[in-house]
Structure 1
Amino acid sequence: MTPADLSALIKDTAVAVLNARALDTAALPEQVVVERPRNPEHGDYATNLALQVAKKVGLNPRELATALAEALAETDGIATAEIAGPGFINIRLDASAQGTIVSTILLQGDTYGHQDFLADRVVNLEFVSANPTGPIHLGGTRWAALGDALGRILTACGAKVTREYYFNDHGRQIDRFTNSLIAAAKGEPTPEDGYGGAYIQEIAANVLSRVPNALELDDAEMSETFRAEGVDMMFAQIKASLHEFRTDFDVYFHENSLFESGAVDRAVDKLKDNGNLYFNDGAWWLKSSDYGDDKDRVVIKSDGDAAYIAGDIAYVADKFERGHNLAIYMLGADHHGYISRLRAATAAMGYDPKQVEVLIGQMVNLVRDGEAIKMSKRAGTVITLDDLVEAIGVDGARYAMIRSSADSTLDIDLALWTSQSSDNPVYYVQYGHARLCSIARKAEELGVSAENPDLSLLAHEREGDLIRTLGEFPAIVKAAAQLREPHRVARYAEALAGTFHRFYDNCQILPKQGEEVQPIHTARLALAFASRQVLRNALEMLGISAPERM
């Protein structure tokens, strides 16, 4: 019996109890909350349903809890149901009921933990979106890992997800990048507002290799050549780095296309027509303060050029016009002020601002011997995605970025993440999977099968702990999707690995040499196979490999 099954059983029981007393069942919540008690001695699961609804139906909480507990205790699969405190109910399942969790996992396999509650969501998930003026830095690396993991989790919950990279190829930063390349090609110092680092020298040399006469062109042609060739090369490097990091995108959306296609002009015209754009001091202003922003924003400047927000307005409209009904933006720590203006722009264009979500990620530091590492040999100014992967590998880099909440500053200790010990979270989880694979190989050698197990034999305390932890996985995935928090799956994987290791240390899974295979061996092997499946499913949702040997 999974926690979801138990939740449904408790609700059905509550409906029956209230109906028997002619009380209003409408007071019951849509879903009954079932939790694991902090103290295992109190039971396998607990619910506070009686406390939630007693007052609404006119009963004392303990009176309602008593009636519920008595009814639950008579139900198949429930070993005991006892009242605690002012009206909590502690529940113990019998071993056979717990064993159904193992059966469910083995039956569902790779889809265990997958759900369909987001089946009506068509999500545009935009993340990374770094300017094509340099390699991906650690902040972008964090979003690459988190964004990809979130996309996997949302998909596992039924959503149709478009992973999108917004390619900023329109604006001043591209001019600075172009000028930096030209200066490097000429052997001149980096412009005061330009980009430095070995990568600029490399790209400039590659432009000259591809277009040998680039420096002989007139200024306009030279600038366009270095711009087009340089941006293309830089973005190819960014894509290659992200691909190696197991982060690929469905759409690379070019900012410049919004201007070339007339999307910006159409958005401006729409805002004029619906009265959300007004003319003042030679400029066109968005009435963003009418929609929760702290002030109105200039959309078309007095010189006739579009302000940065003009592209943002056209872009959010484009997302909805393409059929998405939820737009998630994953942005850096310096974008807090962007949230209110984006939602205001969405509302002004006639869309529901609740369908726009902005997730903000905090800074990342790479640490060695307690000191932050500040310089990249190649980028010159920042640590890059490639630097991190070179230092701790793709799995280590992804896991380090995912396992903490995005809204917390993150320090990545090189010594920790390169160690092959239980202190290294990704090593600990992957070792758990490899150990389970080793058990499977040994079982095959011994001729031990997990077919037709008697799961009611799994009555040891450590077996119960492991089964209940396995049963929590669907709820963990659901919470991670609803709250947009992939770190919940990573922390769950660590908890599952730890629970399995304790089970392994206390319960002999396979017969010793010379021993005959007993039903308990078959049951425990089935539990081990279920544990391997769930650990692999969790790692897959994080984009982390599940090694079979370590």
Structure 2
Amino acid sequence: MTPANLADLIKGIATTVLTDRGLDVSVLPGKITVERPRNPEHGDYATNVALQCAKKVGQNPRDLAQWIADALAEHEAITEASVAGPGFLNIRLAAAAQGVVARNILAAGDRYGHCDIYQGQSWNLEFVSANPTGPIHLGGTRWAAFGDSLGRILTAAGAQVTREYYFNDHGTQIDRFVASVLARARSEEVPEDGYGGDYIQDIATKVLELQPDLLDSEKYSEDQIKENVRRIGVDLMFSHIKESLHEFGTDFDVFFHENSLFESGAVDKAIATLKENGNLYNHDGAWWLRSSNFGDDKDRVVIKRDGNAAYIAGDIAYLVDKFERGFDLAIYMLGADHHGYIARLKAAAQALGYDAGRVEVLIGQMVNLVRDGQVVRMSKRAGTVITLDDLVEAIGVDAARYALVRSSADSSLDIDLGLWASQSNDNPVYYVQYGHARLCSLARKAESVGISAENPDFGLLTHEKEGDLIRTLGEFPSVVQTAATLREPHRIARYAEELAGVFHRFYDSCQILPKSGEEEQPVHHARLALAAATRQTLSNALGLLGVNAPERM
């Protein structure tokens, strides 16, 4: 019995209790809160439903709790229901009722933990979206791990998720990138405001290999040379970005080109819409969005005095494009310096006539790498920033992804390279993966001696550590749902660590397979089935984080 199942049972029994005593059943909350008490001696689960309802129906909380406890105790799934404190209900489940959790896990398989809270909703999840002017830095790497994991979690919660990368191929940063590559191609120093790092030289060399006559001034004008460098250089840089992301386990459904918004006329169309509805006005020769009317701290320039579009013009057209493609919700993942975009994008949506609730902005904080207690600041290839490739080279893909999603995205993060590269229980991802590998080894050993987990009698699982493991397994669906609703993948990582720890303690306390020369007993079958359910749940949790669940280590 999962906490959700128990909550339903409590609500049904509480409804009967109130009805039989002529009390108002409408006071019962829509969802009964069921939690595991901090002290296991108090019971398997606890609820405060009597405290929530007693005053509303004019009853003493302890009396109401006792009525409900008495009725619960008569149910076959409950071995004990008692009242504590001012009116809390402590509940112990029968072993067979708890064992249903393991049975359900084995039946659900890869889908255990999934739910349908977002069923029928189409969501656009935009993340990373780094400029194609250099390798992905640590901030973008954090979003790659976080965004991909969040996409997996939202999909498990029923949403239809489109992962999208906004390809910034329009604006001054691209111009600086082109100037830097062209300078290196000409064996010159990059401009003062250009991009450094050996990767610029690498791209310049490849551009010349692909077009050997690139610098022939008799054949090409300076504008043509720059355009060729832009076309080839940006494509090379973006190809490297996509390859790095793919090797990191992060792939996208859509790569959206910013420049297409200008070439297609989408920007002009969005601006015309805002002019027509009065939410764009002219002041001192520039066109301003009335964003302060919709919660922003000030109005924003959309078209500058010189007639060129400000950066927000593309944002506005891009927002329209997302909604015209039929998305119910547009989620943006932005860096720590983009807090202002929250109000800005919501204001733009409202100015265009959309519900601001259809725009959601998540802000991620900075990441630092630490080696031997010192912050690592320089990249071997990028020259100025640490990149995704640097992190993967140092600790591997699994450790990098896990380290980046293990903490809330809105908190800064230090990654100790020595810790995350180590093969020890101090390394969280190693600890969890070892738990899964240990479970796989157990299954192989059982198969080799001919012991199966078929038709287990979960009523035999009465050991304290067995109960701890079953109850922890039962919490996974709730953890997934909470991670989805709060957009917090770190909850899955922390749960996986807790589950691995509870399993290791169960393994150390309970003889799962018979010892040499010992006859197998029904309890061995039940424990083996419980281990199989644990293996499935650990695998599902790691899968939601995009981390491998190894069978051997």
TM-score range, shorter chain: over 0.9
In structure 1, distance between residues paired with 2:39 and 2:411: 29
Letter in 2 for 1:318: D
Deviation of residue 57 (structure 1)?
2.3
For residue 476 of structure 1, give the secondary structure of its aligned residue in structure 2.
Answer: helix
Partner of 2:451: 448
In structure 2, distance between residues paired with 1:198 and 1:39: 58
Partner of 2:297: 294
In structure 1, distance between residues paired with 2:145 and 2:20: 53
Partner of 1:332: 335
- Structure 2 residue 236 is the aligned partner of structure 1 residue 233: yes
Q: Deviations over 1:251-279 (max 9, x none)?
A: 00011111111111111111111111111
Q: Deviations over 1:134-164 (max 9, x none)?
A: 0001100000000000000000110000000
Deviation of residue 335 (structure 1)?
0.4
- Runs of 4+ aligned structure 1 residues displaced above 4 Å come to none
In structure 2, distance between residues paired with 1:61 and 1:314: 57
In structure 1, distance between residues paired with 2:336 and 2:6: 41
In structure 2, distance between residues paired with 1:307 and 1:17: 65
- Structure 2 residue 276 is the aligned partner of structure 1 residue 247: no
Q: Deviations over 1:59-84 (max 9, x none)?
A: 22212211111111111201111111
Q: Deviations over 1:363-396 (max 9, x none)?
A: 0001000000000010000110011111100000
In structure 1, distance between residues paired with 2:50 and 2:352: 46
Letter in 1 for 2:408: S
Q: Deviations over 1:6-42 (max 9, x none)?
A: 0100111111111112222222221111111111001
Partner of 1:381: 384
Letter in 1 for 2:140: G
- Structure 2 residue 183 is the aligned partner of structure 1 residue 168: no
Partner of 2:186: 186
In structure 1, distance between residues paired with 2:63 and 2:121: 42
Partner of 1:95: 95
Calculate the TM-score normalised by the size of structure 2.
Answer: 0.99
Question: How do residues 314-353 of structure 1 correspond to structure 2 at under 5 angstroms?
Answer: 314-353=317-356
Alignment partner of 2:528 out of 507, 513, 525: 525
- Structure 2 residue 409 is the aligned partner of structure 1 residue 406: yes
Partner of 1:42: 42
- Structure 2 residue 269 is the aligned partner of structure 1 residue 280: no
Partner of 1:16: 16
Question: How do residues 473-512 of structure 1 correspond to structure 2 at under 5 angstroms?
Answer: 473-512=476-515
- Structure 2 residue 549 is the aligned partner of structure 1 residue 546: yes
Moved more, 66-75 or 516-525: 66-75
Q: Deviations over 1:468-526 (max 9, x none)?
A: 00000000000000000000000000000000000000001001111111011001000
For residue 214 of structure 1, give the secondary structure of its aligned residue in structure 2.
Answer: coil
Partner of 2:71: 71
Partner of 1:368: 371
Q: Deviations over 1:95-139 (max 9, x none)?
A: 010010111011111111011111032110000000000000110
For residue 302 of structure 1, give the secondary structure of its aligned residue in structure 2.
Answer: coil
In structure 2, distance between residues paired with 1:238 and 1:130: 9
In structure 2, distance between residues paired with 1:254 and 1:60: 64
Alignment partner of 2:315 out of 296, 312, 315: 312
Q: Deviations over 1:391-450 (max 9, x none)?
A: 100000000001110011111101100111100000000000000000000001111110
Letter in 1 for 2:60: N
Partner of 2:195: 195
Partner of 2:206: 206
Deviation of residue 58 (structure 1)?
2.2
Alignment partner of 1:270 out of 273, 280, 295: 273
In structure 1, distance between residues paired with 2:333 and 2:318: 15
Q: Deviations over 1:161-181 (max 9, x none)?
A: 000000000100000000000
Partner of 1:107: 107
Question: How do residues 456-475 of structure 1 correspond to structure 2 at under 5 angstroms?
Answer: 456-475=459-478
Partner of 1:27: 27
Letter in 2 for 1:121: Q
Alignment partner of 2:538 out of 517, 535, 538: 535
In structure 1, distance between residues paired with 2:458 and 2:305: 75
Q: Deviations over 1:333-365 (max 9, x none)?
A: 000011101100011011111111111100000
- Structure 2 residue 152 is the aligned partner of structure 1 residue 152: yes
In structure 2, distance between residues paired with 1:485 and 1:500: 24
The number of aligned residues is 550
In structure 2, distance between residues paired with 1:59 and 1:325: 45
For residue 394 of structure 2, give the secondary structure of its aligned residue in structure 1.
Answer: helix
In structure 1, distance between residues paired with 2:411 and 2:301: 33
In structure 1, distance between residues paired with 2:323 and 2:61: 48
Letter in 2 for 1:202: D
Cα root mean square deviation, aligned: 0.7
Question: How do residues 209-220 of structure 1 correspond to structure 2 at under 5 angstroms?
Answer: 209-216=209-216, 217-220=220-223
Partner of 1:358: 361
In structure 2, distance between residues paired with 1:519 and 1:535: 25
For residue 34 of structure 2, give the secondary structure of its aligned residue in structure 1.
Answer: coil
In structure 2, distance between residues paired with 1:265 and 1:536: 49
For residue 130 of structure 1, give the secondary structure of its aligned residue in structure 2.
Answer: coil
For residue 278 of structure 1, give the secondary structure of its aligned residue in structure 2.
Answer: strand
In structure 2, distance between residues paired with 1:330 and 1:135: 18
